[in-house]
A = this chain, B = another copy of it.
Amino acid sequence: MAMKALSRATIYQVAQLAGVSIATVSRALRDSDLVTQATRERVLAAARELRFTPSRPARSLAEGRHAANGIVFPDLVGPYYAEVVLGYEAAAAGFGSSVLILATNGRPDAEQAVRDLAGRVDGLTVMGQTVGDDVVDELQATGLPLVLLARDPVPGVDTVRAQNTRTARELAGHLVAHGHRKFVFLGDPGSAPDIAGRYAGVQAGLTAAGVARAHLVPLPGFDLEVGEAADIGDADAVVCANDEIALGVLLAAERAGRRVPEDLAVTGWDDLLAARFAGLTTVRQPMRELGATAARWLHRRITQPGAGAKRRILPTQLVVRRSCGSHPPEEVAT
């Protein structure tokens, strides 16, 4: 038996109270210009009196659209995804679309959850390693407008990413210039395309500089604790997949009595607020802008179906602070 969660007034009651038909109520409420001013006022008054709010499911069913879109992101840990999602919401709100969020972090039924979500929205942004390309293809086959975010492109689908490889290369070069030679990369390139790009860039930068490749330590996660527990061996430079890992390494180094940057260089990625206060050299990503761009593109796809697939790589920026080696003060960002 259906459990009625809502017991709100319906258009029929408004119509009755206003002494008109439901068609007229509908018109008056959606300010169609096919209603007399007098009629409209009568209807609005009745609606107000009954605290009428149109049923969204009924409306969606009749209109064939949801007036909502969704974003799927991998994990809840850390400020990175949060910022992206918040940038997304702000942009989506701008064109009157509700936002549904779905975190797939270690959810066993992620694929099904995404499919369910797909049934509630006019379009979907899929971020990072949440579901496989097979699911993306499947969604695309249903004609659902899609945008990929921080994820490898799929033919025919819009993709928004941040620059990874190139800036990672720059970072590696910078570290080599500081005199570092024994590199470790902390993070699992297989866990996300972003990380793979950073890893590739670092190796490319080292190779270009004629330095031995970094030793890869594929950590099982991306948070502070994982960084603290990481075994960095006798490296003199630790390039971390993100800031949280790097901050963990910083804490561990301090405990172990290794000075940063004198004994050990450490770098992160994301430029979290904490990086600034930890003096951590890192790479700034336009997180809000990533989310906002995805939302805008999705809206375009929904309203203008058939447009060609777009791809964009948003620039990232090396932020040099203390942790990578000593600099004249004026060169160091805060």
Contact = CB atoms under 8 A, between A and B. Distances in A.
21 contacts: A6-B144, A8-B142, A51-B142, A53-B118, A57-B61, A57-B66, A68-B100, A76-B86, A76-B87, A82-B83, A82-B86, A93-B102, A93-B113, A98-B100, A98-B120, A99-B101, A99-B102, A251-B334, A272-B273, A274-B276, A277-B278
A178 B85 CA distance: 41
A30 interface: no
A110 to B, nearest CB: 10
Interface in A104-125: 105, 107, 113, 115-120, 122-123
A89 B123 CA distance: 20
B5 A65 contact: yes
Please indicate which of the listed interface residues A58, A86, A89 has the most CB atoms of chain B within 10 Å of its own CB. Answer: A86
B5 A66 contact: yes
Please indicate which of the listed interface residues A59, A119, A142, A278 has the most CB atoms of chain B within 10 Å of its own CB. Answer: A119
B65 A2 contact: yes
Contacts of A250: 277
The quantity of this chain's copies bound in the complex is 2
A64 interface: yes
Interface string A193-235: 0000000000000000000000000000000100000000000
A331 interface: no
A103 interface: yes
Contacts of A122: 5-6
B98 A76 contact: no
A92 to B, nearest CB: 10
A4 to B, nearest CB: 4
